[in-house]
Amino acid sequence: MTLMETLYKEHDEIWAFTEQMTQKCIDLMEHNIFDADSFRADIAYIRTYADATHHKKEEDLLFRAMLDELGQVAENLIRHGMLVEHDQARLYVMELETAVNAYETDRSPALKLEILSQAMDYVHLLRRHIEKENGAIYPFAERALSPDTMRKLEAQFQSEWNHA
């Protein structure tokens, strides 16, 4: 699978995860179903897959190439857009983890609301982020990056990430 195919596929998997997270929030809100270990597993998934695997590919490969080759347009799109959103997602996850840990010992309505708020902020951010990348950022990169740059990106991806 190519780098771009992989990034799109990972978006599909992350989107499916956001649907599961939404259902988990509904279950907590409507049925008071709370499993701290399940939330912690979700946080681990976000950190290891969505961030350390997917976002790292974007940041280390595609976004770096765009910043190196495409000038101010990429600077605006990537540094002031996509990377800011990656950092915002990390903040939501950190705040979600704090709320889950606190709610485990204090089942207050305020802490329940904090879990719901942070989880759904993450969900909404990621869905908008995926739509932007799939609909604009990735197609722009595929059109605007030189064929030589795309070949180099692909070679780097194959040697560093695609060992299967």
pLDDT attached to residue 163? 58
For residue 160, what pLDDT band results from cuts at 50, 70 and 90?
confident
Digit-coded pLDDT (tens) for 22-75: 999 999 999 999 999 999 999 999 999 999 999 999 999 999 999 999 999 999
Average pLDDT over residues 148-162: 91
Digit-coded pLDDT (tens) for 66-106: 999 999 999 999 999 999 999 999 999 999 999 999 999 99
pLDDT attached to residue 161? 83
Average pLDDT over residues 104-113: 97
For residue 4, what pLDDT band results from cuts at 50, 70 and 90?
very high
Q: How far apart are CA 123 and CA 153, in angstroms?
A: 29
Q: pLDDT over 90 for what percent of the chain?
A: 96
What would the CATH number be for the domain defined by 3-160? 1.20.120.520
Digit-coded pLDDT (tens) for 123-139: 999 999 999 999 999 99
Q: Where are the domains positioned within the chain? A: 3-160
pTM value?
A: 0.94
